Structure 1
Amino acid sequence: DEQRTYFNVRSRPAHLQLRSVQGTDEGVYRCKVHFKASPSWSQRIALTIEDPPWFPGIRDATSDRRLEGDIGPYGTHVNLRLLCTASGSPPPMLQWGGIGSGLGSPVEQRT
């Protein structure tokens, strides 16, 4: 398996190569140059990666079954736990609400 990140000293100028950039590559990178007759020089950059959003849908927490469209019927006095998960960078905002939701105003949470 070929390395995704390597420092190429054979090319001119030498360069840092990042292949197939991923969220785990996010961070601060520093280039430092040492001279024989002069002070060293360095520069930093902060690499930010935007991960594409991921949305698997709504699931029943008990059965882990994916739910779509009309669901049920569920009997009264039954506990129902619905999961809505998403990820991305920057983190998306999840919001529950809707007609007949019993929530009043929408409920939001940053993931």
Structure 2
Amino acid sequence: MSTFAVFGMTANVALAMARETTKTSRLPTAGLTLAEWNKAVEEQAAKIMAGKKVRQLSQLFDAPQYAEQFMELARKTGQCRDLRIRAKCEITDAKGKPVINAKTKMPKVGWTEYSPDLSRVA
């Protein structure tokens, strides 16, 4: 059974990431004022939103339709980009064979892009 989650980037997540990474001082002896720091955070958040990095935005879902509902809500609430549903399942190579972990001798499990099977719709 697969597990589904929504990956992408929203303005709120970008702002939280920017707050974590923005330094509070330029030099070891001089700190930034609150206004300067807020401006630096906003600039960093804009860079994150313009970039390609994505994060897991949702909790884990049992079915993809719940992830689709989450994506609809995320689009309504604010600025977002690159929203995708990913499924956690065995990773396969180009021939469709599972990729085996050399250490554990078990198939590797990871996030792969989910695409609905259109052949079921008829």
Please give the TM-score of this superposition, normalised by the length of structure 1.
Answer: 0.25
Larger relative contact order, structure 1 or 2 (CA cutoff 8 Å, min sep 6): 2
Larger Rg, first or second structure (1 or 2): 1
| Structure richer in helix, relative to its length | 2
| Structure richer in strand, relative to its length | 1
Please give the TM-score of this superposition, normalised by the length of structure 2.
Answer: 0.23
